[in-house]
Amino acid sequence: MSVVIVTLDEAEFIRSCLHALLPQLGPEDELIVVDNGSRDGTPEIVVALAPDATILRLEGNPGYMAACNAGAAVATGDLLILLNPDTTVAPAFAEAIRRPLADGRGWAAWQALLTQQGGREVNTSGGITHYTGISWAGDVGRPAGEVSPEPREVGFASSACLALPRARWEELGGFPDEYFLYFDDVDISLRLRLRGGVIGIEPAAVVEHHYDFSRRTFKWRMLERNRWATIIRTYPGPLLALLAPALLLTELALLVIALAGGWAGQKLAASLDVLRALPRLLDERREIQASSRVAPAAFAARLTGELSSPFLGPVARSPLVRWGVRAYWAGVLAALGPPPPAAWARPRRGEVPTPSL
Protein backbone atom coordinates (compact mmCIF):
# COMPACT_ATOMS: atom_id res chain seq x y z
CA MET A 1 0.00 0.00 0.00
CA SER A 2 1.33 3.44 -1.00
CA VAL A 3 -0.29 6.31 0.92
CA VAL A 4 0.10 9.73 -0.71
CA ILE A 5 -0.64 12.84 1.35
CA VAL A 6 -0.46 16.33 -0.17
CA THR A 7 0.25 19.18 2.24
CA LEU A 8 0.18 22.95 2.16
CA ASP A 9 0.56 24.61 5.57
CA GLU A 10 -1.05 21.67 7.35
CA ALA A 11 0.80 21.84 10.69
CA GLU A 12 -2.58 22.09 12.42
CA PHE A 13 -3.68 18.65 11.16
CA ILE A 14 -0.68 16.60 10.04
CA ARG A 15 0.30 15.44 13.52
CA SER A 16 -3.04 13.79 14.29
CA CYS A 17 -3.18 12.41 10.74
CA LEU A 18 0.18 10.66 11.05
CA HIS A 19 -0.27 9.57 14.67
CA ALA A 20 -3.36 7.58 13.62
CA LEU A 21 -2.00 6.30 10.29
CA LEU A 22 1.60 5.28 10.98
CA PRO A 23 0.93 2.43 13.46
CA GLN A 24 -1.28 0.78 10.83
CA LEU A 25 1.32 0.70 8.06
CA GLY A 26 3.19 -2.55 7.58
CA PRO A 27 6.85 -2.99 6.62
CA GLU A 28 5.98 -3.25 2.91
CA ASP A 29 3.74 -0.19 2.94
CA GLU A 30 5.04 3.28 2.15
CA LEU A 31 4.13 6.84 3.03
CA ILE A 32 4.73 9.59 0.48
CA VAL A 33 4.16 13.21 1.52
CA VAL A 34 4.16 15.83 -1.22
CA ASP A 35 4.49 19.37 0.11
CA ASN A 36 3.34 22.33 -1.98
CA GLY A 37 5.58 24.97 -0.44
CA SER A 38 4.43 25.02 3.19
CA ARG A 39 5.74 27.85 5.36
CA ASP A 40 4.48 26.62 8.71
CA GLY A 41 6.96 23.80 9.27
CA THR A 42 4.77 21.00 7.91
CA PRO A 43 7.65 19.09 6.21
CA GLU A 44 9.73 19.26 9.38
CA ILE A 45 6.87 17.78 11.39
CA VAL A 46 6.61 14.93 8.88
CA VAL A 47 10.35 14.25 9.10
CA ALA A 48 10.17 14.12 12.90
CA LEU A 49 7.14 11.82 13.02
CA ALA A 50 7.82 9.66 9.95
CA PRO A 51 11.57 9.57 9.25
CA ASP A 52 11.12 6.69 6.78
CA ALA A 53 8.57 8.56 4.67
CA THR A 54 9.38 9.80 1.19
CA ILE A 55 9.02 13.59 1.17
CA LEU A 56 8.76 15.54 -2.06
CA ARG A 57 9.00 19.33 -1.81
CA LEU A 58 7.46 21.13 -4.76
CA GLU A 59 8.05 24.78 -5.53
CA GLY A 60 5.42 27.42 -6.06
CA ASN A 61 2.33 25.33 -5.23
CA PRO A 62 1.51 23.68 -8.59
CA GLY A 63 -1.81 22.48 -7.16
CA TYR A 64 -3.31 19.44 -5.51
CA MET A 65 -3.63 17.42 -8.72
CA ALA A 66 -0.03 17.98 -9.80
CA ALA A 67 1.16 17.06 -6.30
CA CYS A 68 -0.88 13.83 -6.31
CA ASN A 69 0.58 12.97 -9.69
CA ALA A 70 4.10 13.60 -8.40
CA GLY A 71 3.53 11.39 -5.36
CA ALA A 72 1.94 8.58 -7.35
CA ALA A 73 4.84 8.68 -9.84
CA VAL A 74 7.26 7.48 -7.14
CA ALA A 75 4.82 5.03 -5.50
CA THR A 76 5.68 1.32 -5.68
CA GLY A 77 2.70 -0.31 -3.95
CA ASP A 78 0.00 -2.26 -5.74
CA LEU A 79 -2.67 -0.22 -3.95
CA LEU A 80 -2.58 3.58 -4.10
CA ILE A 81 -4.29 5.57 -1.33
CA LEU A 82 -4.78 9.33 -1.63
CA LEU A 83 -5.41 10.70 1.85
CA ASN A 84 -6.08 14.29 2.88
CA PRO A 85 -3.88 15.73 5.64
CA ASP A 86 -6.96 16.98 7.54
CA THR A 87 -8.13 13.42 8.23
CA THR A 88 -7.75 10.97 11.10
CA VAL A 89 -8.10 7.30 10.23
CA ALA A 90 -9.96 5.01 12.64
CA PRO A 91 -8.45 1.83 14.10
CA ALA A 92 -8.33 -1.03 11.58
CA PHE A 93 -8.58 1.46 8.70
CA ALA A 94 -5.63 0.00 6.81
CA GLU A 95 -6.99 -3.53 6.94
CA ALA A 96 -10.43 -2.42 5.79
CA ILE A 97 -9.30 -0.15 2.95
CA ARG A 98 -7.32 -3.05 1.43
CA ARG A 99 -10.35 -5.34 1.51
CA PRO A 100 -11.89 -4.54 -1.91
CA LEU A 101 -8.60 -5.48 -3.57
CA ALA A 102 -7.97 -8.49 -1.33
CA ASP A 103 -11.51 -9.80 -1.90
CA GLY A 104 -11.14 -9.58 -5.67
CA ARG A 105 -14.19 -7.37 -6.14
CA GLY A 106 -12.85 -5.96 -9.37
CA TRP A 107 -13.52 -2.37 -8.31
CA ALA A 108 -11.73 0.37 -10.22
CA ALA A 109 -11.67 2.76 -7.22
CA TRP A 110 -13.26 3.13 -3.81
CA GLN A 111 -13.44 5.37 -0.78
CA ALA A 112 -13.66 5.04 2.96
CA LEU A 113 -16.68 6.19 4.94
CA LEU A 114 -15.83 9.78 5.82
CA THR A 115 -17.24 11.20 9.05
CA GLN A 116 -17.26 14.56 10.81
CA GLN A 117 -18.12 16.05 14.18
CA GLY A 118 -16.08 13.47 16.05
CA GLY A 119 -17.52 10.56 14.10
CA ARG A 120 -21.14 11.41 14.88
CA GLU A 121 -22.08 12.58 11.39
CA VAL A 122 -21.40 11.53 7.83
CA ASN A 123 -19.09 13.74 5.81
CA THR A 124 -19.67 11.62 2.71
CA SER A 125 -20.83 8.05 2.14
CA GLY A 126 -20.17 8.32 -1.58
CA GLY A 127 -20.44 11.23 -3.97
CA ILE A 128 -23.53 12.08 -6.03
CA THR A 129 -23.33 13.68 -9.47
CA HIS A 130 -26.35 15.36 -11.01
CA TYR A 131 -26.70 15.18 -14.79
CA THR A 132 -25.78 18.90 -14.92
CA GLY A 133 -22.40 17.98 -13.42
CA ILE A 134 -23.22 19.58 -10.05
CA SER A 135 -21.86 17.15 -7.46
CA TRP A 136 -22.05 16.78 -3.70
CA ALA A 137 -21.29 14.52 -0.75
CA GLY A 138 -23.84 11.80 -0.15
CA ASP A 139 -25.56 11.61 3.27
CA VAL A 140 -23.67 14.66 4.55
CA GLY A 141 -24.83 15.52 8.07
CA ARG A 142 -26.70 12.24 8.53
CA PRO A 143 -25.99 10.28 11.76
CA ALA A 144 -23.08 7.99 10.97
CA GLY A 145 -24.75 5.06 12.71
CA GLU A 146 -27.53 5.05 10.11
CA VAL A 147 -25.21 4.30 7.19
CA SER A 148 -25.36 0.77 5.82
CA PRO A 149 -22.24 -1.25 6.67
CA GLU A 150 -22.46 -3.10 3.36
CA PRO A 151 -20.00 -2.26 0.55
CA ARG A 152 -21.80 -0.82 -2.46
CA GLU A 153 -21.41 1.17 -5.65
CA VAL A 154 -21.41 4.98 -5.44
CA GLY A 155 -21.60 7.87 -7.88
CA PHE A 156 -18.03 8.99 -7.30
CA ALA A 157 -15.37 8.29 -4.69
CA SER A 158 -14.14 11.19 -2.56
CA SER A 159 -10.45 12.00 -2.94
CA ALA A 160 -10.27 12.82 0.78
CA CYS A 161 -9.61 9.08 0.99
CA LEU A 162 -9.45 7.56 -2.47
CA ALA A 163 -8.13 4.05 -3.06
CA LEU A 164 -7.42 2.38 -6.39
CA PRO A 165 -5.02 -0.15 -7.84
CA ARG A 166 -1.92 1.68 -9.01
CA ALA A 167 -2.28 0.02 -12.40
CA ARG A 168 -5.65 1.75 -12.86
CA TRP A 169 -4.12 5.11 -11.94
CA GLU A 170 -1.33 4.66 -14.47
CA GLU A 171 -3.80 3.51 -17.12
CA LEU A 172 -5.62 6.85 -16.80
CA GLY A 173 -2.52 9.00 -16.43
CA GLY A 174 -3.61 10.27 -13.01
CA PHE A 175 -5.36 13.60 -12.43
CA PRO A 176 -5.43 16.49 -14.92
CA ASP A 177 -2.82 18.98 -13.63
CA GLU A 178 -4.84 21.87 -15.04
CA TYR A 179 -7.70 21.34 -12.58
CA PHE A 180 -5.41 22.57 -9.77
CA LEU A 181 -8.01 21.96 -7.04
CA TYR A 182 -11.53 20.46 -6.75
CA PHE A 183 -13.52 18.03 -8.92
CA ASP A 184 -10.55 15.69 -9.31
CA ASP A 185 -12.53 12.85 -7.70
CA VAL A 186 -15.58 13.33 -9.94
CA ASP A 187 -13.42 13.45 -13.07
CA ILE A 188 -11.38 10.34 -12.30
CA SER A 189 -14.45 8.38 -11.20
CA LEU A 190 -16.29 9.18 -14.43
CA ARG A 191 -13.23 8.33 -16.54
CA LEU A 192 -12.92 4.98 -14.78
CA ARG A 193 -16.62 4.35 -15.32
CA LEU A 194 -16.24 5.05 -19.04
CA ARG A 195 -13.74 2.17 -19.08
CA GLY A 196 -16.25 -0.16 -17.46
CA GLY A 197 -14.98 0.34 -13.92
CA VAL A 198 -17.07 0.15 -10.75
CA ILE A 199 -16.67 2.87 -8.09
CA GLY A 200 -17.48 1.80 -4.55
CA ILE A 201 -17.36 2.49 -0.83
CA GLU A 202 -15.94 0.25 1.89
CA PRO A 203 -17.80 1.46 5.00
CA ALA A 204 -15.64 -0.64 7.33
CA ALA A 205 -12.80 1.80 6.58
CA VAL A 206 -13.69 4.91 8.58
CA VAL A 207 -11.92 8.27 8.36
CA GLU A 208 -12.74 11.45 10.27
CA HIS A 209 -12.53 14.48 7.95
CA HIS A 210 -11.88 17.86 9.56
CA TYR A 211 -13.28 19.69 6.57
CA ASP A 212 -13.93 23.41 6.22
CA PHE A 213 -15.30 24.34 2.79
CA SER A 214 -14.71 28.05 3.43
CA ARG A 215 -10.94 27.65 3.69
CA ARG A 216 -10.54 28.27 -0.04
CA THR A 217 -11.57 31.74 -1.19
CA PHE A 218 -11.49 30.91 -4.91
CA LYS A 219 -13.51 27.71 -4.56
CA TRP A 220 -16.42 28.77 -6.81
CA ARG A 221 -14.16 29.52 -9.76
CA MET A 222 -12.39 26.17 -9.40
CA LEU A 223 -15.61 24.22 -8.93
CA GLU A 224 -17.39 25.77 -11.90
CA ARG A 225 -14.54 25.60 -14.38
CA ASN A 226 -13.72 22.01 -13.41
CA ARG A 227 -17.39 20.99 -13.54
CA TRP A 228 -17.54 22.14 -17.13
CA ALA A 229 -14.17 20.60 -17.95
CA THR A 230 -15.41 17.26 -16.62
CA ILE A 231 -18.66 17.46 -18.60
CA ILE A 232 -16.75 18.24 -21.80
CA ARG A 233 -14.14 15.54 -21.23
CA THR A 234 -16.26 12.65 -19.98
CA TYR A 235 -19.90 12.86 -21.08
CA PRO A 236 -20.60 10.61 -24.10
CA GLY A 237 -21.74 12.45 -27.23
CA PRO A 238 -25.38 11.28 -27.28
CA LEU A 239 -25.80 12.20 -23.62
CA LEU A 240 -24.18 15.59 -24.12
CA ALA A 241 -26.49 16.37 -27.06
CA LEU A 242 -29.62 15.46 -25.09
CA LEU A 243 -28.48 17.53 -22.12
CA ALA A 244 -27.56 20.68 -24.06
CA PRO A 245 -30.84 22.56 -23.30
CA ALA A 246 -30.68 21.64 -19.61
CA LEU A 247 -27.04 22.69 -19.36
CA LEU A 248 -27.86 26.06 -20.91
CA LEU A 249 -30.74 26.65 -18.49
CA THR A 250 -28.52 25.61 -15.58
CA GLU A 251 -25.89 28.10 -16.67
CA LEU A 252 -28.42 30.93 -16.70
CA ALA A 253 -29.78 29.89 -13.30
CA LEU A 254 -26.29 29.68 -11.79
CA LEU A 255 -25.47 33.15 -13.06
CA VAL A 256 -28.52 34.54 -11.23
CA ILE A 257 -27.57 32.58 -8.10
CA ALA A 258 -23.98 33.82 -8.34
CA LEU A 259 -25.15 37.43 -8.62
CA ALA A 260 -27.33 37.00 -5.54
CA GLY A 261 -24.58 35.18 -3.65
CA GLY A 262 -21.80 37.63 -4.43
CA TRP A 263 -19.62 35.27 -6.47
CA ALA A 264 -20.60 36.37 -9.98
CA GLY A 265 -17.02 37.46 -10.66
CA GLN A 266 -15.76 33.95 -9.94
CA LYS A 267 -18.49 32.45 -12.10
CA LEU A 268 -17.55 34.67 -15.04
CA ALA A 269 -13.86 33.94 -14.52
CA ALA A 270 -14.65 30.22 -14.60
CA SER A 271 -16.51 30.61 -17.90
CA LEU A 272 -13.56 32.44 -19.41
CA ASP A 273 -11.22 29.72 -18.15
CA VAL A 274 -13.30 27.09 -19.92
CA LEU A 275 -13.42 29.05 -23.18
CA ARG A 276 -9.65 29.53 -23.16
CA ALA A 277 -9.07 25.86 -22.42
CA LEU A 278 -11.65 24.57 -24.92
CA PRO A 279 -9.18 23.45 -27.64
CA ARG A 280 -7.22 21.43 -25.06
CA LEU A 281 -10.38 20.03 -23.49
CA LEU A 282 -11.69 18.87 -26.87
CA ASP A 283 -8.39 17.12 -27.59
CA GLU A 284 -8.61 15.41 -24.20
CA ARG A 285 -12.22 14.52 -24.86
CA ARG A 286 -11.33 12.71 -28.09
CA GLU A 287 -8.71 10.63 -26.28
CA ILE A 288 -10.97 9.84 -23.31
CA GLN A 289 -14.00 8.95 -25.43
CA ALA A 290 -11.88 6.76 -27.68
CA SER A 291 -11.10 4.56 -24.66
CA SER A 292 -14.76 4.22 -23.61
CA ARG A 293 -16.06 0.67 -23.20
CA VAL A 294 -19.62 1.40 -22.05
CA ALA A 295 -22.81 2.54 -23.74
CA PRO A 296 -24.05 6.08 -22.98
CA ALA A 297 -27.01 4.60 -21.09
CA ALA A 298 -24.67 2.70 -18.77
CA PHE A 299 -22.66 5.86 -18.08
CA ALA A 300 -25.83 7.87 -17.42
CA ALA A 301 -27.19 5.24 -15.04
CA ARG A 302 -24.88 6.42 -12.25
CA LEU A 303 -25.89 10.09 -12.61
CA THR A 304 -28.98 11.40 -10.85
CA GLY A 305 -31.94 13.58 -11.71
CA GLU A 306 -32.69 14.33 -8.05
CA LEU A 307 -31.69 17.63 -6.45
CA SER A 308 -31.13 16.06 -3.04
CA SER A 309 -28.20 18.10 -1.73
CA PRO A 310 -29.04 20.22 1.35
CA PHE A 311 -26.73 22.94 0.02
CA LEU A 312 -28.50 23.72 -3.27
CA GLY A 313 -30.76 26.42 -1.86
CA PRO A 314 -34.50 27.16 -1.90
CA VAL A 315 -34.91 27.11 -5.69
CA ALA A 316 -33.74 23.50 -5.86
CA ARG A 317 -36.26 22.60 -3.15
CA SER A 318 -39.18 23.98 -5.16
CA PRO A 319 -41.58 21.14 -6.01
CA LEU A 320 -42.09 22.54 -9.52
CA VAL A 321 -38.34 22.78 -10.21
CA ARG A 322 -37.70 19.31 -8.84
CA TRP A 323 -40.53 17.86 -10.92
CA GLY A 324 -39.24 19.55 -14.09
CA VAL A 325 -35.64 18.44 -13.51
CA ARG A 326 -36.75 14.88 -12.78
CA ALA A 327 -39.05 14.74 -15.82
CA TYR A 328 -36.32 16.03 -18.13
CA TRP A 329 -33.93 13.35 -16.90
CA ALA A 330 -36.53 10.64 -17.38
CA GLY A 331 -36.87 11.75 -20.99
CA VAL A 332 -33.10 11.65 -21.49
CA LEU A 333 -32.85 8.14 -20.05
CA ALA A 334 -35.71 6.96 -22.23
CA ALA A 335 -33.99 8.36 -25.32
CA LEU A 336 -30.72 6.62 -24.42
CA GLY A 337 -32.44 3.28 -23.95
CA PRO A 338 -32.31 0.83 -21.05
CA PRO A 339 -29.00 0.46 -19.21
CA PRO A 340 -27.36 -2.96 -18.92
CA PRO A 341 -27.80 -5.05 -15.74
CA ALA A 342 -26.06 -3.93 -12.55
CA ALA A 343 -22.32 -4.10 -13.08
CA TRP A 344 -21.39 -5.44 -9.67
CA ALA A 345 -22.69 -7.52 -6.82
CA ARG A 346 -20.49 -8.29 -3.85
CA PRO A 347 -18.74 -11.66 -4.41
CA ARG A 348 -17.70 -14.17 -1.83
CA ARG A 349 -14.00 -14.10 -1.00
CA GLY A 350 -11.99 -15.40 -3.92
CA GLU A 351 -14.68 -14.81 -6.53
CA VAL A 352 -14.00 -12.17 -9.17
CA PRO A 353 -17.10 -10.55 -10.69
CA THR A 354 -17.31 -9.82 -14.38
CA PRO A 355 -18.60 -6.27 -14.98
CA SER A 356 -21.52 -5.96 -17.38
CA LEU A 357 -20.70 -3.47 -20.10
Q: What DSSP character marks residue 324?
A: H
Give CA–CA dist 241/271, Å, rounded: 20
Give CA–CA dist 116/93, Å, rounded: 16
Give CA–CA dist 332/120, Å, rounded: 38
With b meaning 16 or more CB within 10 Å and e meaning fewer, what string describes 94-131? bebbbbbbebebbbbbbbbbbbbeebeebbbbbbbbbb
Closest CA to 193 of 160, 232, 154: 154
What predicted TM-score, i.e. pTM, was given to this entire model?
A: 0.92
Sequence-ordered list of residues with C-beta below 8 angstroms from that of 266, at least 6 positions apart, any chain: 218, 220, 221, 224, 258
Closest CA to 164 of 100, 230, 94, 73: 100
CATH architecture of 2-215: Alpha-Beta Complex (3.90)
* CB-based contact 85:66 (threshold 8 Å): no
Closest CA to 165 of 65, 94, 98: 98
Give CA–CA dist 308/323, Å, rounded: 12
* CB-based contact 139:147 (threshold 8 Å): yes
Quickly count helices (H) and strands (E) in the chain. 11, 12
54-76 confidence digits (pLDDT tens): 999 998 899 999 999 999 999 99
80-139 confidence digits (pLDDT tens): 999 999 999 999 999 999 999 999 999 999 999 999 999 999 999 999 999 999 999 999
As to burial, measured by CB atoms within 10 angstroms (0-12 exposed, 13-18 middle, 19+ buried), residue 272 is: exposed
Q: pLDDT tens digits, the chain, 357 residues: what are they?
A: 999 999 999 999 999 999 999 999 999 999 999 999 999 999 999 999 999 999 999 988 999 999 999 999 999 999 999 999 999 999 999 999 999 999 999 999 999 999 999 999 999 999 999 999 999 999 999 999 999 999 999 999 999 999 999 999 999 999 999 999 999 999 999 999 999 999 999 999 999 999 775 545 588 999 999 999 999 999 999 999 999 999 999 999 999 889 988 999 999 999 999 999 999 999 999 999 999 999 999 999 999 999 888 777 777 778 888 899 999 999 999 999 998 775 444 443 333 333 433
What is the rounded (10 degree) CA torsion for 20, 24, 26, 27? 30
Domain ranges of the chain: 2-215, 219-336
Q: How many other CB atoms are found less than 10 A from the CB of residue 176? A: 23
Give CA–CA dist 295/237, Å, rounded: 11
φ and ψ at 116, to 5 degrees?
-150, 175
Q: What DSSP character marks residue 158?
A: -
Which region, left, alpha or beta, applies to residue 174 given φ > 0 means left and ψ of -120 to 50 means alpha?
left
* CB-based contact 114:138 (threshold 8 Å): no
Q: How many other CB atoms are found less than 10 A from the CB of residue 349? A: 9
3-state DSSP helix/strand/coil % of the chain, to nearest 5: 45, 20, 35
- In a 3-state reduction of DSSP, which class is residue 183? coil
Give CA–CA dist 335/236, Å, rounded: 14
